[in-house]
Amino acid sequence: MDLQAKLRELEEKYNTLEKELSDPAVFKDQKKYQALAKEHSDLGTVVRVYREFQDVRKQVEENRELLSDPDPDMRELARSELDELEGRMEELESELKRLLLPKDPLDEKNVLLEIRAGTGGDEAALFAADLFRMYSRYAEEKRWKVEVLGEHATGIGGYKEIIAMISGDRVYSHLKYESGTHRVQRVPDTETQGRIHTSAVTVAVLPEADEVDVEIDPSDLRIDVYRASGAGGQHVNKTESAVRITHIPTGLVVQCQDERSQHKNRSKAMKVLAARLLDLKKREQHDQLSAERKQMVGSGDRSERIRTYNFPQGRVTDHRIGLTLYRLESIMHGDLDELLEAIGTYFQAQSLAAGSES
């Protein structure tokens, strides 16, 4: 099916959904109504762009006809408008191709966010806490829910590791390109000479796994319970509430001790394990595709240095797309839309280019 035929089909579907949504009988069935409303909303962007494309194309055709008008002033006016209209038509066509790219089936999912301090000691741990606050504030703006599943805090307010579940509307589609090494350049509070230190933190964004995504055979698990360590009051040394789960086939180990209840710790640990197994499955599929096609985009490799936060100059640079923004303070307060949208657009364009070459 060519592009125009596909777009006409989507517009017809959009119009049909509009009629269904205006039916009182459908409105009474809220489950069906919400499903149709979501489908209608998802189609809305591509239909709006398609309708603008049709309008601009019509104007282009009218201006081309006017090029043969006997009035020289009319011909000149048509010619002056034509270049701009044709440029706009090309932009809209590219946008439509991008919008019709196959949707990532994981985009609708909640995510498991894992932030770990890397090189840099205490300063890296402090920056891990800064990044967690940044993503938490962004989540708050999006009306998402953030639930901490596990943390390894330091005595100075940092984190060696923090793991959280972020739940809401299309969380993975917004955060999926955040996986990688985040580098910070700043003068630590403990630095008396005013020297700039460079530290690193790794971020992993894993889509939440449903039962249909990952099957976990109970016989593949070794579950150990032990007494929690660290802060927690008198119960720490008396109850075996902490849980460690080992997935024997892969060697993955997950532990959770934040809750006083062994049952709750086990439930949280299973969530983390399922998400990591889904990520492992995803990576195996990616490796297989990479072997078949040399150039794959948007891998989200956690070993890749993706971004630098330079505090003395107040700038943030994303190395993958060559974008530098001089508003570090607002970004650290969770104002991430401009940055994340630019990264998403870049990877979509890469996917489009890869698709046209294959």
Domain ranges of the chain: 3-99, 111-209+297-357, 218-289
What is the mean pLDDT of the segment spanning 78-91?
Answer: 90
What is the mean pLDDT of the segment spanning 80-104?
Answer: 85
Asked if residue 143 has pLDDT above 50, the reply is: yes
Asked if residue 25 has pLDDT above 50, the reply is: yes
Q: Does the 218-289 domain belong in CATH 3.40.630.30?
A: no
- Which pLDDT score, from 0 to 100, does residue 292 have? 39
Q: 182 near 113, Cβ under 8 Å?
A: no
- Which pLDDT score, from 0 to 100, does residue 235 have? 44
Asked if residue 298 has pLDDT above 50, the reply is: no
How much of the chain exceeds pLDDT 90, in percent?
Answer: 47
- Which pLDDT score, from 0 to 100, does residue 238 have? 54
**What is the enclosing helix (H) or strand (E) of 187?**
none
Asked if residue 1 has pLDDT above 60, the reply is: no
The answer to whether 3-99 and 218-289 have equal CATH topology is no
- Which pLDDT score, from 0 to 100, does residue 353 have? 67
**What is the enclosing helix (H) or strand (E) of 71?**
none
* Calpha distance 266→256 (Å, rounded): 7
CATH of domain 3-99: 1.20.58
Arithmetic mean of pLDDT over the chain? 85
- Which pLDDT score, from 0 to 100, does residue 213 have? 72
> Which CATH fold topology does 111-209+297-357 show?
Alpha-Beta Plaits (3.30.70)
Here the tokens at position 305 are 């240095």
Q: If pLDDT is split at 50, 70 and 90, which confidence band does 293 have? A: very low
More confident site: 227 or 118: 118
Cα angle value 166/171/174 (rounded, 5°): 130
- Which pLDDT score, from 0 to 100, does residue 232 have? 43
Give the β-pairing of 242-247 and 145-153.
unpaired
What is the mean pLDDT of the segment spanning 11-28?
Answer: 91
- Which pLDDT score, from 0 to 100, does residue 297 have? 33
- Which pLDDT score, from 0 to 100, does residue 355 have? 57
What is the mean pLDDT of the segment spanning 103-111?
Answer: 85
- Which residue carries 């039962």 as its tokens? 211
What is the mean pLDDT of the segment spanning 273-281?
Answer: 88
pTM score: 0.65
More confident site: 331 or 216: 331
- Which pLDDT score, from 0 to 100, does residue 257 have? 85
